[in-house]
Amino acid sequence: MIGPMSESTSAPPPPPPPEEARSPGAERARPAPALPEPAPLTRRMIGGEVACVLALSLGAAAVSAVISFTGALTAPGSLSDQTASLVGPRAGAERPWLDLSRQAASLVFAFAPVALVVYLLHRSRESAATIGFDLRRPGADLAGGAALAAAIGCGGLVVYLVSWHLGLTVTVAPSALEQHWWQYPVLVLQAVKNGVLEEVIVVGYLLLRFEQLGWSPVRAILFSSVLRAFYHLYQGVGMFFGNLVMGLVFCWAYRRWGRVMPLVVAHSLIDIVAFAGSVLLLGKVDWLPGA
């Protein structure tokens, strides 16, 4: 006789529970994928990184300055007959709120390349402190920066006046802003922006990366200084060489002190005096070009 089904016979597996019946914490209990370790820097990666940073910041400014200088050379009249405005209005005089809004937005986004550089330094297990862009030595940074500003500022003014009289430099108008209550705050922030952007990228960051590429100090300093001269070329031949000398001095100071903050202080002070001085003196002294 055929008896009942043996208990040893395996039954088919039960169907899986529907999606909504699964435990709500099952997905959350799944471990998150591990973050990848940052790849070690290679010469090729450093070169690409430097090219990207410069293309987004002062390398692009150098190309624009060369084009502007070419246009000035081919224009009628001498260079001294032409004017280059450093800080100009961004809206009509009848809408100061729009001008201020655009000035503020421009200032905020101008610091983006500096933020990128700091981020890249952290990605390579370095930091802003690696190039001395920090507040650990405020007294020494202020003193060194003030001394540099006095030396470079006075020398730069002499170079500008002489080269302008020789017709080698355009008339530089540091500020063309309208008279508003926010005029001086914007000019000060523009000066600080110039100091931070140029010194962090062109001196601190570039010299560090070039050293990691195996460049000699002389080669790195020359590249940094010539780049600084080129993105000021729109001001004329005289200011090209004046900024070349400034770059050499600033690179020497950076290698001596190992910190970029004194250079930021010096550059900011020079531009604050130039921007504010143009508002206060232009039209009131006859020896200043553009008066």
What mean pLDDT do residues 139-149 have?
97
End-to-end CA distance of the chain: 124
- How far from the centroid of its chain's Cα atoms is residue 156's Cα? 22
Q: Which residue has the higher pLDDT, 287 or 130?
A: 130
Residue 11 binned pLDDT confidence (cut-offs 50, 70, 90): low
Per-residue model confidence as pLDDT tens digits over 40-99: 789 999 999 999 999 999 999 999 999 999 999 999 888 888 998 899 999 988 899 999
CA 197 to chain centre: 3
Higher pLDDT, 27 or 105: 105
Mean pLDDT of 102-108: 96
Q: Cα separation of 270 and 205, whole Å?
A: 21
Instruction: Specify the pLDDT at position 196.
Output: 98
Q: What is the pLDDT of residues 242-283, one digit of tens each?
A: 999 999 999 999 999 999 999 999 999 999 999 988 888 777
Question: Alpha-carbon distance 156 to 246, whole Å?
Answer: 8
| Residue 125 Ramachandran class (φ > 0 left, ψ -120 to 50 alpha, else beta) | left
Asked if pLDDT for residue 4 goes beyond 50, the answer is no
**How would residue 204 be classed by pLDDT, with cut points 50, 70 and 90?**
very high
Q: How confident is the model at residue 1, as a pLDDT?
A: 44
Taking the C-alpha atoms of residue 93 and residue 179, their distance in angstroms, rounded to an integer, is: 9
Instruction: Tell me the whole-structure pTM to 2 decimals.
Output: 0.85
pLDDT in tens, 211-223: 999 999 999 999 9
Quick one: pLDDT band at residue 174, thresholds 50, 70, 90? confident
Residue 278 pLDDT: 83
**Residue pair 171/77 in contact by the 8 Å Cβ criterion:** no
Continuous H helices in the chain: 26-29, 43-55, 58-73, 96-110, 112-123, 138-165, 183-198, 206-212, 217-230, 237-257, 261-281
Q: How confident is the model at residue 291 (pLDDT cuts 50, 70, 90)?
A: low
CB within 8 Å of 271: residues ≥ 6 apart: 174, 190, 191, 194, 195
Mean pLDDT of the chain: 89
Band of residue 23 on the pLDDT scale cut at 50, 70, 90 = low
pLDDT at 185 over 90: yes
**If we measure between CA atoms, which residue out of 132, 84, 120, 97 comes closest to residue 233?**
84
- Tell me the C-alpha to C-alpha distance, in Å, between residue 173 and each of 154, 214, 269: 18, 41, 17
Of 180, 279, 185, nearest in space to 290 by CA: 279
Position 291, amino acid: A
pLDDT in tens, 117-127: 999 999 999 99
Contact 174, 274 (CB under 8 A): yes
Q: Is 53 helix (H, G, I), strand (E, B) or coil?
A: helix
Residue 6 has pLDDT above 80, yes or no: no
- pLDDT at residue 10 is higher than 60: no
